[in-house]
Amino acid sequence: MTTSPDVRPAPRPLTEPVGTVVPSQVPTHWYNLAADLPEPPPPALHPGTREPLGPQDLAPLFPMALIAQEVSTERYVEIPQTIREIYALWRPSPLVRALRLERALGTPAKIYYKYEGVSPAGSHKPNTAVAQAYYNAVEGTTKLTTETGAGQWGASLSFACSLLGLQCEVWQVRASYDAKPYRRMQMETYGGVCHPSPSDLTEAGRAMLAADPDTTGSLGMAISEAVEVAAQDPNAHYALGSVLNHVLLHQSVIGIEALDQLDAIGETADVVFGCAGGGSNLGGLSFPFIGRNLRDGTTTRVVACEPAACPSLTQGEYRYDFGDVAGLTPLLKMHTLGKDFVPPPIHAGGLRYHGMAPMVSHAYELGLLEAIAVEQEVAFAAGVEFARAEGIIPAPESTHAVAGAIAHARAATTDETIVIGLSGNGVLDLPAYHDFL
């Protein structure tokens, strides 16, 4: 008796759909605010020529699909099925009525929070991490480098790379690397490699350490290191967790879902509060609301809540600046405290960036959103108050939005509708809460 050889089908590429049933509430398209703005945002400039960037200028760092999204003016960009299948692991994320918080505050206002902490990595960051990893894998990239502050982005990109077969190398701001070891462990569990920044692994890092051996680091420093490594490796690309247009595009699933969820219960948001560091969570939550304001004449207010220790919108200058300390990135027109600004090592490490997303900055200049600066003590007090009323411990970044919303709700005299962007959970940030308590 003969036996047939064991013939196994070739493994399917990780970029192909696997057949997951995707809930109908998961968006099929991303929303692009650029399509509805009354005037286009200023272009990014080449750091050498100071001329507007062309696609080939960005090709050493990003795949062409993301470069096309960066400059797109289409209102809607289709989400590939593979990405929607991965989104379905946690999307749609819940929009929750915070009834117990309302009762604790004694407010007539209705408070809802859009909770992104249900993602596998614990924050909103996988919304773009999965998309960036996917487009890089399709183009044949085998490795991504990036920076991270608190570690939510580094963990999210490590998660996305593990699902799509890419290596991931992360430079984490030294202050957060030392204070948040569990974020590094999370990255390593997903297969990522994490270094403190500045490090002695790059020319940029060595120069920064020579200038200040005891520096606590900054996102601008970590970006310089990650960009340097990606630019020198033909098989690697760089991935940015915030600031750029394509990042905010991917994050728009937050606001798209929130609008649909409010519509389903007959509610309209009067005011939306989002934390603001580089701009990804704020833009992802608020841009669909701003777009509806521009198209349909609705009047939803948007309030960016940034840390008083790093107040780029409320105190920064609106001008062209580099996104990193070493000056390796394109020049972006944004609200900035200056590329050399080193913020104090506040607990909300994800908000410690010297600049604000150009699209958010442009919307702010056009009067389409407002901004407030929140002190760290006020933010943590709000986070504790929220946790004791609703049970969820917010990420330190999210507590800034919670603080803005609580102050507004306390002063409310009508049953207006307030929406909070709860960008992640603070389960791995408990030492910061312990210090506050």
What confidence score (pLDDT) does residue 352 get? 73
What confidence score (pLDDT) does residue 266 get? 97
- Which class for 375: exposed (0-12), middle (13-18), buried (19 or more C-beta within 10 A)? middle
- How far is 199 from 221, CA to CA, in rounded Å? 10
Q: Residue 179 pLDDT > 80, yes or no?
A: yes
3-class SS string, 146-166: EEECCCHHHHHHHHHHHHHCC
Quickly state the pLDDT bin for 263 (edges 50, 70, 90): very high
Q: Residue 3 pLDDT > 60, yes or no?
A: no
What is the pTM assigned to this prediction? 0.94
Quickly state the pLDDT bin for 10 (edges 50, 70, 90): low
What confidence score (pLDDT) does residue 84 get? 98
Q: Residue 181 pLDDT > 70, yes or no?
A: yes
* Ramachandran angles phi, psi of 244, nearest 5°: -75, 160
Q: Residue 2 pLDDT > 60, yes or no?
A: no
* Ramachandran angles phi, psi of 252, nearest 5°: -65, -15
Mean pLDDT throughout 49-77?
93
Quickly state the pLDDT bin for 349 (edges 50, 70, 90): low
- Please list, residue by residue across 61-85, b when 16 or more beta carbons sit within 10 angstroms of its beta carbon and e when fewer do: bbbebbbebbbbeeebbebeebbbb
Mean pLDDT throughout 298-311?
96
Task: Provide the residue ranges of all domains of the chain, joining segments of one domain with +.
Answer: 85-123+245-436
What confidence score (pLDDT) does residue 150 get? 82
AA identity, residue 88: A
Percent of the chain whose pLDDT exceeds 70: 96
Q: Residue 432 pLDDT > 90, yes or no?
A: no
Q: Residue 169 pLDDT > 90, yes or no?
A: yes
Q: Which CATH architecture has domain 85-123+245-436?
A: 3-Layer(aba) Sandwich (3.40)
Q: Residue 373 pLDDT > 80, yes or no?
A: yes
Strand partners, 171: 147, 195
Percent of the chain whose pLDDT exceeds 90: 82
Report the 10 Å Cβ neighbour count for 56. 9
pLDDT tens digits, one per residue of 220-258: 889 899 999 999 999 999 999 999 999 999 999 999 999
Quickly state the pLDDT bin for 354 (edges 50, 70, 90): confident
Mean pLDDT throughout 168-182?
91
Sheet of 370-374, strands arranged across: 95-97, 110-115, 417-422, 271-275, 301-307, 370-374
pLDDT tens digits, one per residue of 32-51: 999 999 999 999 999 889 99
- How far is 417 from 108, CA to CA, in rounded Å? 10
pLDDT tens digits, one per residue of 374-424: 999 999 999 999 999 999 999 999 999 999 999 999 999 999 999 999 999
Q: Residue 353 pLDDT > 90, yes or no?
A: no
Quickly state the pLDDT bin for 431 (edges 50, 70, 90): confident
Q: Where are the alpha helices (DSSP H) in 23-149?
A: 55-58, 64-71, 81-87, 99-105, 126-139
pLDDT tens digits, one per residue of 284-296: 999 999 999 999 9
Helix, strand or coil, per DSSP, at residue 220: helix
Residue 22 CA, chain-centre distance (Å), reads: 23
pLDDT tens digits, one per residue of 330-346: 899 999 999 888 777 66
